[in-house]
Amino acid sequence: MNTNISSSQENIIHNCLLDLLESSSSNDSSFLPKALQSLLHSEGFGIEMSGIYISTDADRENIPAYLTKGIAFEFMDSHVTLPFRDAIACITNWYNHHDEIKNPELDKIIEDLKIKFSQQGL
């Protein structure tokens, strides 16, 4: 993933994204696209055990107290907070290592995230 994070942090990010991928509802076969799409709109997204939160969320109640700037990944009772670019790099890296889940919808969301967070200079 990213050489600036520990293996413990990498595991939290992996488990968060995997849980979002494998969790579903009657309307969504996976919550991962919805969670990543929410980041494009500067909104956080969480389910029972996992969540991705962003410090620029307009709804301040969606921002965990520990998150001051950047993006946070939560899994169970653990979290990792990273600067925007590093978080998107971790998401991209994780996605690129999971060929079995690749599809045009996720490809587009990942590309849009990279564009959004590289243009903002965050």
**What digits encode the pLDDT tens for the residues 66-100?**
999 999 999 999 999 999 999 999 999 999 999 88
**Structural domain that includes position 42:** 7-116
Q: Within a domain: residue 59?
A: yes
99 secondary structure, DSSP code? G
Q: Within a domain: residue 1?
A: no
Rounded Cα distance between 89 and 10, Å, is: 12
- The confidence band for 2, taking pLDDT boundaries of 50, 70 and 90, is very low
Number of domains in the chain: 1
Helix axes 7-22, 84-96, angle to 10 degrees: 70
Q: Within a domain: residue 122?
A: no
pLDDT digits 0-9 by tens, 13-59: 999 999 999 998 777 788 999 999 999 999 999 999 999 999 999 99
pLDDT for res 24: 84
Query: At 51, phi and psi to the nearest 5?
Result: -170, 155
pLDDT for res 120: 58
End-to-end CA distance of the chain: 20
**Position 1 pLDDT exceeds 70:** no
Predicted TM-score (pTM) above 0.85: yes
Q: What is the mean pLDDT of the chain?
A: 91
Report CA torsion sign: 79, 84, 86, 89: positive
